[in-house]
Amino acid sequence: MPSIVRTWFNVSVLIVTYFSPAILSTGRLNVLLIISDDLRPTIGCYGDPMVKSPNIDQLASKSNVFHNAFAQQAVCGPSRTSFLTSRRPDTTRLYDFNSYWRVHAGNYTTLPQYFKSRGYTTMSVGKVFHPGIASNHSDDYPYSWSVPPYHPPSFAYEKRKVCKGDDGKLHVNLLCPVNVTEMPMKTLPDMENTEEAVRLLKSAKETDSPFFLAVGYYKPHIPFRIPQEFLELYPLENVTLAPDPDVPGGLPPVAYNPWTDIRKREDVQSLNVSFPYGPVPKEFQRRIRQHYFAAVTYVDAQVGRLLSALDDLGLANDTMVVFTSDHGWSLGEHGEWAKYSNFDVATRVPLIVHVPGLTSAPHKLGERSFPYIDVFRHSDQQFTLGRAVRDVVELVDLFPTVSELAGLKPPPPCPPSSFGDSDLPLLADIRVMGYSIRSCDYRYTLWVTFDPASFRANMTDVHAGELYLLQDDPGQDRNVYDGGGGEHGRLLAKLDGHLHWTSTLRQHLLYFNSGSKVKGMF
């Protein structure tokens, strides 16, 4: 059930305003864009008391940290295409993985392509664009990249029987802690990603042109195939359950995702969990959360090695670093174990932006900006948080923000209509879309009829609605859409006025949108 996040702020302007304009004309910076897959802000610098993330926290101490950043859709392909083109999924026409925007929407310039056209060497490591049809089976090479994108060879084993179960046999499991030396190729994909990224940094240092390096780490995306020693940092008896494990009262069935991704794994299948709501046994819930936390710390170690290489190569003072994710992931909240929903745990992402000389003072000769922190030796190291930004922002505005901060003239805004005569993708199964407004005070969703033939939503044909008042319900556990009159009624009337004006919505609101394959539900 794909979901697209939109809020009603024009955040492409707002993000840049959090940085002093004095730095914006001092010259071109290198760019290191780090993308973690399925990472919600479950890291220390966002206040998580459990997860150990010292290297990311160290980066955050020298950065602007955006605490309310949202992806456009809680699905990998649509989200990545959206923020890498700075266009919303309604424009890219991608709600799943089965269309390529240059064919089905328009020949839109991407973030790395824009830097490439300005003389940068652009390089891709790991999962940056979603592989396959969504990026033309080429990661959009050669349009976006100066050299062919790198994919780690060991990723070929990610979905094979390499997870040792309690029976001693190998399985395709969700939970997959491994002895790396026993793995095929004796390594793991994200380890290879770091090694290749460091190699590319060394190569870039020897050239005269600035670089744009995007590094996409695969974890904490399932399966949790990670080095087994990271589990030792999270004793199972210390792992708590989600504070709000129940399906929200009044939740429309169309708004619930039955987490089919994890149901395909052999260890989950052995639990015989009922469909669609479960629940997963509590002991296994703890184990899922334990493995997710361990996977985050594993990614942190890779980020630490990568950032340390910037210091080693003398590049830290000249390189802007952006750390983010394509979307979040539910860890038992609302009875869900996946992405694909419109809840904050699925749509909210970390966004950390470091600009040397702006978000922190340049380091002096002999000093290091990002010394590597070994979590097994210094797991309790604390950092003073950099500038915390609480306003709502969104990833679709990363493109112009990064461009301006790096010293380039931002690209012009998109025209109101840029569909042209491109072919529409095949969306025969999508019959209902959920459009939402997310502010600091509420999340409001209308589930409306969607016509895949014309690629249009009928905002007057409403199947269901959601309204969560965040001051009293920050976890979005009580849907008060049908709550009646009073203040709720006045707010609903105001919001309906916004959503029913489809043309105004498309041009002036930044909103959620969720497509669902609905079979007989309405």
Residues forming the active site: 76, 130
The CB density around residue 270, as the number of other CB atoms within 10 Å, is 14
Can you tell me whether residue 233 is helix, strand or coil?
helix
- Burial (CB count within 10 angstroms: exposed 0-12, middle 13-18, buried 19+), residue 127: buried
Can you tell me whether residue 295 is helix, strand or coil?
helix
* Spacing of C-alpha 5 from chain mean position: 11
Q: Cα separations (Å) of 166 from 178, 436, 451?
A: 13, 44, 48
Q: Extract the tokens encoding 438.
A: 């997310």
- Closest Cα partner for 127 from 209, 19, 38? 38
Can you tell me whether residue 512 is helix, strand or coil?
strand
- Spatial separation of the C-alpha atoms in residues 480 and 465, rounded to whole Å: 9
| CA count, 13 A, side-chain hemisphere, 151 | 14
- Spatial separation of the C-alpha atoms in residues 29 and 209, rounded to whole Å: 10
Point out which residues pair with 225 in neighbouring strands.
176
The CB density around residue 413, as the number of other CB atoms within 10 Å, is 10
- Closest Cα partner for 17 from 509, 404, 394? 404
Point out which residues pair with 323 in neighbouring strands.
34, 352
- Burial (CB count within 10 angstroms: exposed 0-12, middle 13-18, buried 19+), residue 31: buried
